[in-house]
Amino acid sequence: MSSSFGRNGHLSRRALLAGAGGALAATTLPACSGASGASTLTMHQSKPEAISYFSQLAEDFSQSQSSYRVQHDIATNLSASFVRNNPPDLGCLNYNLEMGRFMERGALADLADLPAASTIREDVQDLTSWYATYEDRTSVIPYSVTAASVIYNRRIFDEHGLEVPTTWEEFVGVCETLKAADVIPIYSTFLDPWTIAQGLFDYTVGGMVDVRAFYEDLHELGEDVGPDSEVSFQRTLLEPVERMIELVQYTNPDASNRGYGDGNTAMAQEKAAMYFQGPWAFGEIEKSGEELDLGTFPLPMTDDPADLKVRVNIDLSLWVPEAASEPTGAREFLQYLMQPSVQNPYNEKFLAFGTTKNAPAVTDDRIAEMQTFYDDGRFYMGASQFIPKSIPAQNYIQSIVGGADPERTLARMDADWARLAFRE
């Protein structure tokens, strides 16, 4: 059997046994963290595109001082590590409803005293409190924000003499013109439910409804959400959802069997004029190597251009768990990552917006049009992001674009919401 182990395998097996022994010793001596010299600091970061980028940063930090060596964790299951009570020392992840649960239970340490915390724009920091909060803590430091809106092909717009629309009517006009010219106005990928929720649903809802107030009311109502409550999916969201259905006629006829990957390919091949996706899609579209002139504009949902808003989400946030074994090192590394010379290049490279008060404006032509909206705080977070996973909202939305009755489907979401609130 030993022949099946290569040189690497052999070394690794030794390391494993040593590790197993060490772990056993650690159970008997819980306070002692052994190793001599630099202690190990775990950073959890698993956004795939950025893995090699952050590996380099971890390496750089490890070299810049002698107390800590950063271990870049891309694979450990986060919930399991919290259950086991050995979470990573520093988290660098997308902040969402699931992460908010750790916050809600007070599992994340307060970072308000860090100098980096005070450099964050207030309205950006405030985005974290859309989710659960705990004792007024500032535990989550937004590292980068991605803004999503309608991606459009400037060449196709120019070819048909179209301007970027700023009202709902203009937008429908653009779609009509394109349709009349036999160009697919909007490329949709209904096969992947998240793309509908992220695009059509969030843009239409966010453009018409105050998302934060809506969910605050829903939480307050709890199990009373229903056909008669003042705020509900079936009442508040019906109008935007009906407009969403109106837009379905402008999408590609084969949308129901096209996935996210197909959408990116189609946009790279200029098969459609518009695409309801976030900046993450640019990286995928780019892979084809085509020369494209793409831009972005917020989906206008009202008659007033002043209502225009873009959808944002906290692409990466930094946090330190209460149970971190190296909190001091984690804070040091956090400060290192927050230096403008480290943070700004990340945002530039991954088409995200900076979160600090003096972050430079984005320069990439594809997202530059969203800068003013971001600067003015004219943004919202996606409505689909605030529905717990136990409610299959994405699938409900998928069935609506597939032809299900919107009123009944939204009523079902209300019933689910009420049931969930009752259970909790």
Residues 117-176 that bind another protein (CB under 8 A): none
CA distance 360 to 390: 39
When asked if residue 325 is in the footprint of another protein (CB under 8 A), the reply is no
When asked if residue 84 is in the footprint of another protein (CB under 8 A), the reply is yes
When asked if residue 42 is in the footprint of another protein (CB under 8 A), the reply is yes
CA distance 103 to 142: 14
When asked if residue 66 is in the footprint of another protein (CB under 8 A), the reply is no
| Region of 82-90, 216-224, 227-235, 389-397 interacting with another protein (CB under 8 A) | 82-90
Helix, strand or coil for residue 358?
coil
CA distance 392 to 381: 19
When asked if residue 420 is in the footprint of another protein (CB under 8 A), the reply is no
Q: Which is nearer to another protein, 137 or 271 (CB)?
A: 271
Amino acid at 129: S
CA distance 80 to 400: 35
8, 66, 358, 363: which one binds another protein (CB under 8 A): 8
| Region of 62-70, 129-137, 173-181, 256-264 interacting with another protein (CB under 8 A) | 256-264
One-character DSSP codes across 58-122: HHHHHHH-SSEEEEEESSS-HHHHHHTT---SEEEE---HHHHHHHHTT-B---TTSGGGGGB-H
When asked if residue 6 is in the footprint of another protein (CB under 8 A), the reply is yes
Q: Which is nearer to another protein, 232 or 347 (CB)?
A: 347
Q: How far is the CB of 37 from another protein (least distance, A)?
A: 17
CA distance 31 to 202: 48
Q: Which is nearer to another protein, 264 or 355 (CB)?
A: 264
- Kindly write out the interface string for residues 280-299 of this chain, putting x where it contacts another protein by CB under 8 A and - elsewhere: xx-xx--xxx----------
Helix, strand or coil for residue 44?
strand
Helix, strand or coil for residue 144?
strand
When asked if residue 109 is in the footprint of another protein (CB under 8 A), the reply is no
CA distance 333 to 326: 11
CA distance 122 to 128: 10
When asked if residue 3 is in the footprint of another protein (CB under 8 A), the reply is no
Q: How far is the CB of 40 from another protein (least distance, A)?
A: 10
Closest CA to 141 of 105, 90, 89, 81: 90
Q: Which is nearer to another protein, 2 or 341 (CB)?
A: 2
User: Which stretches of the chain bind another protein, using CB under 8 A?
Assistant: 1, 4-6, 8-9, 11-13, 15-17, 19-20, 23-27, 42, 46, 48-49, 51-52, 71-77, 80-81, 83-86, 194, 260-262, 264-265, 268, 278, 280-281, 283-284, 287-289
